[in-house]
């Protein structure tokens, strides 16, 4: 395995000074009386956060974010189950990571855990590298409905289960609420990320509102502190490739492959890697519709306030699902909101009494 070297996040003082100057000269829009969160982030919330960003927040984070609550729970030896060697990659062009230049981490076999884009990447890995991807744990599971030509058994079962249970109806209602009122950001980012990028790159307040809106509405009443909010936003604002670079993943995943690899945002490195490995480009739609090889075992954990939720039986269309769990709290950021619950679910999946115990040959975590 490639040796690990420490990376210290260092934001130049001139960038911090420029941020403060921009915050000093912010002009705010008005808002309708008593609109609350119905039309987006309330003005008073943004003004409070801007004041804190400018006057109180000394941003010197020591590590990347969402996985940081999980890592100590997964790597610390205790009696609650296996311990793990953890690789928590920052996606290319997110935060302080660079673009893709080479393949892999030097691991012959691995178990993958993912939410949000990590979920999509994990499922892609099961298609490209099933011999290396031994098991997958997901806490975000977008799927296509069980069509008869793809999953005839699930299709027939879904018909027999109509009407759905109250819980399943709640899942479907929340999903349709997201698709009708909550995913305009996705349409913008998958069609015109560059146009959006001018505002996100130049305006720290615009970026703050864009990200905080999702942090608040996608979580399950999690008590976000101002420091947490500003740290998350600052990672994007001071990111190596700029905040717009991370929006292009939506375009790249949804756009059909073009001649010359135009779907790649920075260079042709990703396409070169696919060609080198004799792999075909998969769009997001293809990933969602694909079923993993039977050798890859899956666990799915569904948290109450996730943005996309279906009847849990539908998830069996993604592959060999051997563990299914529904939780009555937690949201889209489960790794941050309820890390203990998520880690417990992972350890139950891979522990010595779990359905994926021994997934990695010779490395059971005990």
Is there a catalytic annotation at residue 263? yes
Rounded to whole angstroms, how far apart are CA atoms 19 and 262?
Answer: 33
* 228: its two tokens: 């947490």
Residue with the two structure tokens 């609650």? 80
Q: Of 171, 212, 236, 332, which one is the catalytic site residue?
A: 332
Rounded to whole angstroms, how far apart are CA atoms 140 and 276?
Answer: 30
Rounded to whole angstroms, how far apart are CA atoms 6 and 63?
Answer: 10
Is there a catalytic annotation at residue 340? no
Q: Of 263, 315, 327, 345, which one is the catalytic site residue?
A: 263
Decide: helix, strand or coil at residue 329.
strand
Rounded to whole angstroms, how far apart are CA atoms 154 and 287?
Answer: 19
* 111: its two tokens: 């178990």
The count of C-alpha atoms lying within 13 angstroms of the C-alpha of 295, restricted to the half-sphere facing its C-beta, is 12
Q: Which residues contact 220 (CB under 8 A, 6 or more apart)?
A: 303, 304, 305, 329, 330, 331, 337
CB count, 10 Å around CB of 101?
Answer: 11
CB count, 10 Å around CB of 135?
Answer: 28
The per-residue b/e assignment along 164-202, b for 16 or more CB within 10 angstroms, e otherwise, is: eeeebeebeebbeebeeebeeeeeebbeebeebbeebee
Ordered DSSP codes for 65-131: SGGGGHHHHHHS--TTS-------PPPTTSTT-----S---S-SSEEEEESTHHHHHHHHHHHH-TT
Task: Answer whether 35's CB lies under 8 Å from 212's CB.
Answer: no
Rounded to whole angstroms, how far apart are CA atoms 194 and 210?
Answer: 15
User: Which positions are catalytic?
Assistant: 116, 263, 332
């Amino acid at each position: 395995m490639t040796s690990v070297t420490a990376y210290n996040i260092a934001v130049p003082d001139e960038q911090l000074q420029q941020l403060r100057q921009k915050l000093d000269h912010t002009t705010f829009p008005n808002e309708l009386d008593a609109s609350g969160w119905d039309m987006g982030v309330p003005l008073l919330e943004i003004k409070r956060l801007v004041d804190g960003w400018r006057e109180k927040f000394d941003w010197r984070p020591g590590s990347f974010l969402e996985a940081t609550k999980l890592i100590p729970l997964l790597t610390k030896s205790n009696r609650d189950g296996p311990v793990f060697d953890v690789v928590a990659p920052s996606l290319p062009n997110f935060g302080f990571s660079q673009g893709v230049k080479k393949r892999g981490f030097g691991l012959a076999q691995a178990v993958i855990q993912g939410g949000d884009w990590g979920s999509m990447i994990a499922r892609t890995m099961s298609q490209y590298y099933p011999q290396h991807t031994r098991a997958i744990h997901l806490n975000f599971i977008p799927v296509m409905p069980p069509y008869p030509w793809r999953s005839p058994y699930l299709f027939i079962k879904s018909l027999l289960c109509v009407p759905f249970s109250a819980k399943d109806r709640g899942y479907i209602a929340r999903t349709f609420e997201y698709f009708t009122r909550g995913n305009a950001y996705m349409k913008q980012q998958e069609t015109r990320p560059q146009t959006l990028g001018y505002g996100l790159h130049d305006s720290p307040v615009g970026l703050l509102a864009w990200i905080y809106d999702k942090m608040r509405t996608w979580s399950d009443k999690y008590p976000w502190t101002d420091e947490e909010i500003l740290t998350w936003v600052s990672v994007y604002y001071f990111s190596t490739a700029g905040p717009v670079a991370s929006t292009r993943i939506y375009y790249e995943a949804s756009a059909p492959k073009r001649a010359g690899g135009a779907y790649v945002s920075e260079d042709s490195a990703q396409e070169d890697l696919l060609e080198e490995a004799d792999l075909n480009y998969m769009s997001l739609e293809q990933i969602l519709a694909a079923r993993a090889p039977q050798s890859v075992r899956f666990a799915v954990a569904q948290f109450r306030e996730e943005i996309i939720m279906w009847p849990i039986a539908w998830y069996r269309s993604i592959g060999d699902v051997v563990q299914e769990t529904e939780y009555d709290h937690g949201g889209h950021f489960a790794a941050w909101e309820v890390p203990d619950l998520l880690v417990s679910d992972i350890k139950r999946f891979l522990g010595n009494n779990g359905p994926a115990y021994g997934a990695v040959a010779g490395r059971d975590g005990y």
